[in-house]
Amino acid sequence: MYGEKDLTNFIDGLDELEGKERVMADISRWASSSQVDIFWRLDTNRYPSFTPVGKPEPDMLINSAKELYAVCVVHGEGNSESIREAFCKAVNIWERMVTDPPKYKQENIDRVPSAVLVATEQSLNGHLFSGDRNREHFVEFSEDRQEAADRGFLPQREFAATQEATRSAWAFTKDRGESDKTGVGALLSSRLDNKEDNQNEDPSPAAFYYLAGESQPHRWESIPWFR
C-alpha cells in the first residue's frame, strides 16, 4: 500500500476518456500519491476496483493512511441539477452506511469511510459548480465563522453555490441525535486555505464534511490527512 504508482496504462488512455470517466481519471491522478490509494467501482486497467456494498454505490474510494473517503463523481459542466442529484445520492449512501456500516473486502481497506463526498471537474478549483451563472463567487464570513475557520474546522474561503449545496445535504444529517462515524460533504481543494485567491498554486485535495451529533461537527481535512 502507498507504493509508487505505475501510471503507464493511465496516461496512454487518458486522451480517449470522456465525460464522467475523464473526471474520475483527473481526480484520481490529482489525489493519488505514495500515501493515497485510489479504487474505482468500474473495473478498468487504470486503478484497482472495489466490490460495492449495497446500493446506491460510490464511484471511487480514496484510501489514505488515516482516512477512507467514498466519492460520488459527477460530470457537472455547470449543470446544477446533476450536482444536486449527486448530493441526493451521497446522502442516500451516507444513510445506508451509518445504519449498516460497510466492510469493503479489498486489501488495505479495513475501516468504514470517514465521509461520502461529492466531486466534479471543478473540485480542483475549490468548488463544484462552473462559473458565475451558478453563483460561484466567494462568501463573506461572519465573525463566528471566521473564528471556526481560524481553528481549522472550516476552510478560509467558500464559494456560494457549493456552500448552499453542501449545507442542504448536511440538513438531512442533523436529524440524527447520535454521533456518526461517517459524514457527508464535498471533495474540494487547498485553494480555500488562503484568504487571498492564488490561482497559480498547485492545490491539494481536501475533504469538507459534516459529522452529525459531534460537538464540533465540521471537518476540513487535507488528503492525505495528518492528525
User: In this predicted model, what pLDDT tens digit does every residue of 139-154 receive, in sequence order?
Assistant: 777 888 888 888 888 9
Average pLDDT over residues 178-199: 84
Is residue 105 predicted with pLDDT exceeding 70?
A: no
The chain-wide mean pLDDT, for the chain, equals 83
If pLDDT is split at 50, 70 and 90, which confidence band does 8 have? very low
If pLDDT is split at 50, 70 and 90, which confidence band does 80 have? confident
Question: Is 3 a member of any domain?
Answer: no
Q: Residue 42's pLDDT is what?
A: 77
Q: Residue 118's pLDDT is what?
A: 97
Average pLDDT over residues 72-82: 80
Distance CA 125, CA 111 (A): 29
Is residue 61 predicted with pLDDT exceeding 70?
A: yes
Is residue 189 predicted with pLDDT exceeding 80?
A: yes
Q: Residue 3's pLDDT is what?
A: 43
Distance CA 34, CA 220 (A): 21
- Give the rounded distance of the alpha carbon of 192 from its chain centre: 14
Q: Residue 58's pLDDT is what?
A: 94
Question: Is 2 a member of any domain?
Answer: no
CB 210 within 8 A of CB 154: no
Q: Residue 132's pLDDT is what?
A: 61
Q: Which residue has the higher pLDDT, 179 or 217?
A: 217
If pLDDT is split at 50, 70 and 90, which confidence band does 5 have? very low
Q: Which helix (H) or strand (E) holds 80?
A: helix 80-99
Is residue 94 predicted with pLDDT exceeding 90?
A: yes
| Cis before 224? omega within 30 | yes
Distance CA 8, CA 45 (A): 10
Q: Which domain holds residue 18?
A: 8-222
Question: Is 227 a member of any domain?
Answer: no
Q: Residue 4's pLDDT is what?
A: 44
**Cα-flanking dihedrals φ and ψ of residue 21, to 5°?**
-65, -35
Question: Is 211 a member of any domain?
Answer: yes
Strands 115-119 and 68-73: what pairing? parallel
Question: Is 126 a member of any domain?
Answer: yes
Whether the model pTM is above 0.85: yes
Q: Residue 72's pLDDT is what?
A: 96
Question: Is 101 a member of any domain?
Answer: yes
Single-letter amino acid code for the residue at 41: R
Is residue 137 predicted with pLDDT exceeding 80?
A: no
Average pLDDT over residues 173-197: 84
Question: Is 72 a member of any domain?
Answer: yes
Residue found by looking up cell 462559473 in the block: 131
Domains identified in the chain, total number: 1
**CA distance between the termini of the chain:** 19
